[in-house]
Structure 1
């Protein structure tokens, strides 16, 4: 089943936007959920019947591909998981981060698996799913490591836990690799 939701930031970039009116308009238009909504607006959205679908667990530039950041990221993401669970949010988005060192994928995948493992356990205990987002590095997020389905799929497969899935963003992956239908079909079991 597909539930129509929208990313809050993409509609609320204008500072003159009235948050309540935007949420009410989205609900009236048939949206069923909202993603990345600031926490203080969750009650407004929920009163309108909108689900809180996702929130970001940490800044996307610094991620789990850097073992030196694991402890701080785990603490931050655990706090956001707890916020999500308390507020009825379904999923927390995590990121690989920007490439470090020589940017090789193998060590970065291993670092993501090592860093995310304990966080996935925390999320499952809280009833929240983690989503590793695939981002494009061509236009919007230069240097982002998890910029291809194969990278994210390797992390999810190696962790082998239903508590972590891919946030498969068609816009980002069309820019990076195209062939969306086949890629989605081949990886549907990994997409959350």
Structure 2
């Protein structure tokens, strides 16, 4: 029996912090909490989610070759990335899911303007295919201060500048609240000012990326209200790392905190 939620926020959860739980058990637990979706699944996992009437709100793209550190900001990667992402777009479209995550890659001495230029060149080659298949390509904002040293898409301004340069309705940003609290703070104002470029949100407690309760500094009910007030109709996915033995109890607590 699903938990009755208010319906103002559409709830999802990232799969990777719960990898110790068999996927079927996790899907069942997520459904019982009242979630509609799971983030960061791979194509071979889609069918399991569908068995529980769950969508994958954001399809994973990290592989042995392509990951957070090796991404679209290097032109020498573009040909292979396009082949890989066309496969992901095909699988995502076939499943009826909306979006695939992507990453800028690390700077490795590349200045911000050149990074934007390079990402735009590659993504503008991919996006006509994504547009045809009606799949969104969504770049995640991550912190380079603590978790992902040297990552290039580490500030809202950089991501928004890339979005403006690309100019496709199928390209947008994943605003990770935890990561941007580490880099910038000023979360609610940033959401109000830039929400048209954000198509997806992730949560996490700051500092530490653990539970989003009173153990950390962010007040998620106010952040969720700010997101809701923008007219947002997409998903908010929990991406904290549970500290409790009963990880699903932490997940349920987080969903209820965000269920404004």
Report the TM-score when normalising by structure 2: 0.70
Q: Give the RMSD, CA atoms, in angstroms.
A: 1.2
Which of 84, 104, 112 does residue 105 from structure 1 map onto? 112
1:119 corresponds to: 126
Which of 14, 19, 26 does residue 22 from structure 1 map onto? 26
| Superposed displacement of residue 46, structure 1 | 1.2
Give SS of 1:161's match: coil
1:177 pairs with 2:184? yes
1:90 pairs with 2:64? no
2:42 corresponds to: 38
- Segments of structure 2 that go 5 or more residues without pairing to the other structure are 1-7, 200-260
1:152 pairs with 2:159? yes
Give SS of 2:29's match: helix
2:42–2:60 contact (8 Å) kept in structure 1: no
- Segments of structure 1 that go 5 or more residues without pairing to the other structure are none
1:162 corresponds to: 169
Matched residue count: 188
| Superposed displacement of residue 130, structure 1 | 0.7
| Superposed displacement of residue 89, structure 1 | 2.1
Runs of 4+ in 1 over 2 A off after TM superposition: 38-41
The higher relative CO (CA closer than 8 Å, separation ≥ 6) is in 2
Per-residue Cα deviation, 1:108-159 (whole angstroms, up to 9, x for no partner): 0111111100211111111111101101111111110000011111110111
Report the TM-score when normalising by structure 1: 0.94
Q: Write the mapping of 1:47-62 to structure 2, written as runs, cut at 5 A.
A: 47-57=51-61, 58-62=66-70
Give SS of 1:167's match: strand
Q: Who wins on radius of gyration, i.e. which is larger?
A: 2
Per-residue Cα deviation, 1:4-58 (whole angstroms, up to 9, x for no partner): 000000122x2xx222111101001001100112322212211211111111334
2:143–2:154 contact (8 Å) kept in structure 1: yes
2:58–2:101 contact (8 Å) kept in structure 1: yes
Give SS of 2:58's match: strand
